[in-house]
Structure 1
Amino acid sequence: MEHPDHPFTELFEQLGLASDPAAIQRFIERHAPLPEDIELPDAPCWNEGQAEFLREAIEADADWAEVVDHLDASLRKG
């Protein structure tokens, strides 16, 4: 089954966050580096709905999983 590609900006829109490139960069700079012992959905920067969306995307290997992995990797860089 093919998964649709979601751009990074669309993930930020889905999370209810500003999605222009500068806002995304500011978000990553503000919240990175995320400690290795904290799962992405458990990071303190998410509200309950955002955390649930991220958790479901990862657990269900949903069509969002690839771009969520990209976000996780971006937040791990320091």
Structure 2
Amino acid sequence: MEHAVHPFSELFEQLGLPADNASIQAFIEQHSPLSDDVSLAEAPFWNRGQAELIRGALEDDADWAEVVDQLNAALRKG
């Protein structure tokens, strides 16, 4: 089964966050760099629902997993 490819903007919409390019960039800048000893789903800036979406996407290898991995990588850069 082929996975859908979702852009950052759709992930941010799913997370209930502003999804325009400037807001996405500001979010990444505000929360970077995320420490290597903190999993993305356990990052302190997520609410419970957001953390569950992130965790579920990664655990289930859902359609969202690829873009969640991209967000994870973007937040680790500093």
TM-score class, shorter-chain normalisation, is over 0.9
TM-score w.r.t. length of structure 1: 0.99
1:11 aligns with 11
Distance 2:23 2:41 in 1: 20
1:56 aligns with 56
Q: How many residues are treated as equivalent by the alignment?
A: 78
Q: Which runs of 5+ in 2 are unaligned?
A: none
TM-score w.r.t. length of structure 2: 0.99
Give SS of 1:35's match: coil
RMSD value, Cα: 0.3
Q: CA deviation at 1:16?
A: 0.1
Distance 2:26 2:6 in 1: 20
Q: CA deviation at 1:46?
A: 0.2
Map 1:17-56 onto structure 2 (within 5 A).
17-56=17-56
Distance 2:10 2:68 in 1: 11
